[in-house]
Amino acid sequence: MKRLLTTSVVRGSQQGESHGGVYLLDLDAQSARCVLDWNRADIDWAGRGGDRGLRGIAFDAEIVYIAASDELFAFAPDFSPLGNWRNPYLKHCHEICIHEDTLFLASTGFDSILGFDLTQRAFHWALHVDVDRFRFKGRVFDPHGDDGPLALDKLHINNVHCEASGMYLAGLRTGGLLHFNGKTIRMAAELPSGTHNARPFRDGVLFNDSAADRLRYTGRTGEEDRAMVVPKYRPRELTHKWVDSSAVARQGFARGLCTLSAAVVAGGSSPSTVTVYDLAANRRLLRVNLSMDVRNAIHGLEVWPFD
């Protein structure tokens, strides 16, 4: 079975503590190895997640791109650093993806998607998403100009996914999966509030229903709807239970998602656990646990391409 790469965020961690990391998962051995411990102190420690931890993951040739809250990093496959870039409109970044020669980043704090040119290695494009009278609108702006949006986080856009049919984006408060065709934004599929990682999959939508502690697939025909319950542990097995609340951190929080085949997908949850599901058989196949710290939550999750 394939290997996976995942990032984590330790919600509610304090200065001086590790607040995230990068792990390489061997699904056959059901084991994980920490390849990068993230303990930088030069971040904003306010809020549940704040600037803690590492976020989205993307691959381009022999380069591993990983996003932090307000910075994009590049690594070699052995995780030696290759470069890093900031932009004033990148804040509370969540997921990232690559399409053609551009890496797109969901800048949650600015309700925006930023574009990073992989050839020039520079931010070169940005899209601000807003809603007015129940209609979504997108405005392209210069990520280096002074006419960008305010940091309002109205929609909490946490995912971006691109393919030939256009750009798909979604967030906690978008009400569904949005589609941007280069000119206009429309609702592609309605989803429950509180979702993460929503993306088209087969003839429907695959997403983490974080509010309900479920990984879900909803087909357009209605013939194959799945709601896979994420793993939960007995309270005595957990550490840092004193922060187990919706205000800081809780177990069962579903975030992080990747596809292994047309039927098999992997999803993340807290305390940091990656579970592989067979949607066709409607069952769990296996799970790999990284930590029993209830604050430790999976964020990015992708298939490791360098085997």
Sequence-separated (6 or more) residues with CB below 8 Å from residue 277: 215, 226, 228, 264, 265, 266, 267, 283, 284, 285
d(CA 52, CA 41): 9
The stretches of the chain forming alpha helices (DSSP H) are none
Taking residue 225's Cβ as centre, other Cβ atoms within 10 Å add up to 12
pLDDT of 48: 45
pLDDT of 53: 73
| % of the chain beyond a pLDDT of 90 | 79
Contact 298, 8 (CB under 8 A): yes
d(CA 199, CA 188): 10
Angle at alpha carbon of residue 13, lines to 274 and 297, rounded to 5°: 15
d(CA 244, CA 225): 30
pLDDT of 101: 97
| pLDDT tens digits, one per residue of 115-173 | 999 999 999 999 999 998 889 999 999 999 999 999 999 999 999 999 999 999 999 99
pLDDT of 45: 34
Residue numbers of the domain that contains 168: 3-303
d(CA 280, CA 302): 21
| pLDDT tens digits, one per residue of 182-210 | 999 999 999 999 999 999 999 999 999 99
Sequence-separated (6 or more) residues with CB below 8 Å from residue 111: 128, 129, 130, 149, 152, 153, 154, 155, 156, 157
Residue 89 pLDDT > 70:
yes
Residue 49 pLDDT > 80:
no
Contact 204, 219 (CB under 8 A): yes
d(CA 278, CA 284): 6
For residue 46, give Cα distances in angstroms to 137, 195, 213: 31, 23, 25
pLDDT of 50: 54
pLDDT of 295: 87
| pLDDT tens digits, one per residue of 54-87 | 999 999 999 999 999 999 999 999 999 999 999 9
- The structural domain count of the chain equals 1
CATH number at residue 45: 2.120.10.30
d(CA 207, CA 201): 9
Token pair, residue 202, equals 């087969």
Instruction: Give the closest residue to 68 by CA, choosing from 266, 300, 241.
Output: 300
| pLDDT tens digits, one per residue of 206-255 | 999 999 999 999 987 666 799 999 999 999 999 877 655 555 568 999 99
This prediction has a pTM of 0.93
8-35 mean pLDDT: 80
pLDDT of 93: 95
Contact 255, 269 (CB under 8 A): yes
Query: Residue 33's beta-bridge partner residues?
Result: 24
50 or 168, which is more confident?
168
Our separate counts of H helices and E strands in the chain read 0, 25
Contact 106, 89 (CB under 8 A): no
Contact 57, 300 (CB under 8 A): yes
